[in-house]
Amino acid sequence: MSILVVDVGTSGLRAAVVRDSGEVHGLHARPFPPQSPFPGLVEFDAVGMAAAVLEVAHAALADAGPVQAVGITTQRASTVVWNRATGEPVGPGLGWQDLRTVLDCITAKAEHGLALAPNQSATKAKWLLDQFDPTRSADLCVGTVDTWVAWVLSKGAVHVTDPSNAAVTGLLLPDASGWNERACAAMGVPVAMLPQVVDTSGVFGEASALPGSPPMAALVGDQQGSLVGQSCVRPGQAKITFGTGGMLDVCTDRGAPSTGNRSGAGTFPIVAWRHGGQLTWGVEAIMLSAGTNVEWLVADLG
């Protein structure tokens, strides 16, 4: 079997075909850094991202031949809002590092008892809707990058996410059993605008934007995907990834946590993946800047 893997990171994206043997063929990558119009603000062009995804995916298939399935892994929590009928984003995509909603997080805690962080999607979705649909009357879709990429590859046929991505939005119930209607109401995010939550692995649609319309059969957040990629699939196994940020993840599989809040040590529970309806859990610690610090140093030194 050959699988097309689409990987959309914070500062770049790539696609390649992976064979049964594990060999990688037709790797195509291109930088796609976010923009920072002002310190603390991190935005990206969702239309440009869609075009870049299709570009590298088509190039990989042209080099490596047809595939039997497509897998998608992406940066998490970065948020896009788009028109359901036209597929056009209503505004900029907000990156997970964006800090413009810090005050909204403080308000959510004070007024609603919700412990939200600006690197989650909840207040980003609220900000975008407040700016571009204050009456909540438009027929819009809200999604993280995985949802946007699946929408693009399916030509708008599917509006989905998986628990590994949904669980870091701040809008999912702590046990990952569904969207948290109380949190959604407090943030002014209509549940009808949110995607369907599907298994991390399992066919959820066709990539009709690609030759042969191969089935899309995996959808996972980048850090949880790297847990699997590093064979950290048993309780106690851990990995740390230094990319744009630094992410330490441990597979725990202790069952659903009682709360989605951060622990006193600074870690918070994550859904590692869901397969056949069965959830596997983990914990994560985040350092917002790792590779970006190196890039800053290189640029500063000239």
pLDDT along the chain (302 residues), means of 10: 97 97 97 95 98 99 98 98 99 97 98 95 99 98 99 99 97 96 98 99 98 99 94 94 86 74 75 96 85 75 72
Q: What angle do CA 58, 62, 67 make, to 5 degrees?
A: 80
- pLDDT for 196: 99
The residues, ordered by sequence, that sit 6+ positions from 293 with a Cβ below 8 Å of its Cβ are: none
- Region of 29 on the Ramachandran plot (φ > 0 left; ψ -120 to 50 alpha; else beta): beta
- pLDDT for 244: 74
- pLDDT for 204: 98
The CATH classification number of 2-222 equals: 3.30.420.40
Closest CA to 7 of 66, 53, 63, 60: 53
- Report the 10 Å Cβ neighbour count for 190: 15
CA atoms within 13 A on the CB side of 164: 31
Model confidence, pTM:
0.93
- pLDDT for 289: 74
Domain ranges of the chain: 2-222
